[in-house]
Amino acid sequence: MKPLAVSMGDPAGIGLELAARIWAARDSATPPFFLVGDADAFERASARLGLTKPTLNVVTDARAVSAGGNALSVLETPLAMEETPGEPDPVNAETTIAAIARGVDAVRTGAASALVTLPIAKSVLHTADFGFPGHTEFIAHLTKDDVWPQARGPVMMLAGPSLRVALATIHTPLADVPKQLDRLMLVQTGRVVAEALRRDFGIAEPRLVFCGLNPHAGENGTIGREEIEIINPAAAILRAEGWAVSDARSADALFHEEARQTYDAAIALYHDQGLIPIKTLHFWDGVNITLGLPIVRTSPDHGTGFDIAGKGVARPDSVRAAMTMAWAMAERRARA
């Protein structure tokens, strides 16, 4: 298989130093990868960590990247200005965006097997008229014209060794969540998640469960009717299509150890409903995955870490987990 493409994220954050740590400590379990970003910035990140100066193979065409050996290939995407750790500069926003786009293109053209995106700062990118809430929506836009015969996302899923949670709404203000929920949207989300569990995670008969929106999953309509009118009917449609999907269950009792044995993925209806349990269980090794797209894309489940950038204390666990998961997903797609 081709190596992973790893886009550098915001150069003032912790992404480059985490990639540098992983490269310096790589072993037989580390998936092959190349960096999409600024080669000099990667060298500076390595130096700040006191690592041996890396040997780099700097290329301008993804088809020229090489995997294996002692040199890390860098698909050169130069910064407009040298980064200052912890101080994001809008002047580098265009380069950050370009690194994502070039990483996506590397996967689309077969030069990479999957994309791992290092963290970005959305507020910085919006100074460059980014126009998207985040990575997920941008990558969906870049791949929207590619052939994809299965249910199309994007759907965001957060995953760790003991829990997978997909989000029906992502960065939606809580007050607006009920207005965004409808049966067809939940049915499409369920299809995307179920197909991804089968295709990308190798689960032959995936089991899904919807979180309830209201306390006690509405308690038969006495604490809200979304479960009766929207969520449970969506689950019924999915069951009619042959998927194993449970009706809405009270979210406060859905994430303890015994409950987690009853499903392969939960569908949360709003951001914190899903992210609180995943970050409680997998704060260090959680992975953000975009489901339902023609390419495999994962990301660490953390942000840019501007407050600790350059201090040498950021942990690479989540980036390493994102790379491992992307490689496994791409392998399954290659065998299909």
pLDDT given at position 191: 98
What pLDDT does residue 322 have? 98
What's the rounded Cα separation, in Å, for the pair 214 and 217?
5
Homologous superfamily of 149-292: Isopropylmalate Dehydrogenase (3.40.718.10)
**Residue-by-residue DSSP string for 266-309:** EEESSHHHHHHHHHHH-TTT-EEEEESSSS-EEEESS---TTTT
Output the CA angle 153-156-159, nearest 5 degrees.
130
Secondary structure of residue 108 in the 3-state scheme: helix
pLDDT, block means (10 residues), the chain with 336 residues: 97 98 96 98 97 96 89 97 96 96 97 98 88 92 95 97 96 94 97 98 98 96 96 98 98 97 98 97 96 98 96 96 98 93
The token duo for 258 is 């015994």
Helix or strand holding residue 150 (H, E): none
Contact 332, 199 (CB under 8 A): yes
Res 264: pLDDT: 98
DSSP state of 222: B
**How far apart are alpha carbons 268 and 209 in whole angstroms?**
9
Residue type at 188 in one-letter notation: Q
Query: For residues 118 and 96, what is the distance between their CA atoms, to the nearest angstrom?
Result: 10
* Segments making up each domain of the chain, as ranges: 1-148+296-336, 149-292
- CATH 3.40.50.970 given to domain 1-148+296-336: no
The total number of residues shown for the chain amounts to: 336
Asked if 76 and 59 count as a contact pair (C-beta separation under 8 A), the reply is yes
Q: Yes or no: say if 109 and 62 are a contact pair by the CB < 8 Å rule.
A: yes
Contact status, residue 187 vs residue 238, Cβ threshold 8 Å: yes
pLDDT at 68: 77
Half-sphere exposure of 223 (CA within 13 A, CB side): 9
> In the numeric block, which tokens belong to residue 253?
């009792």
Residue matched to tokens 């020229």: 64
CA distances from 114 to 42, 106, 138 (A): 21, 9, 16
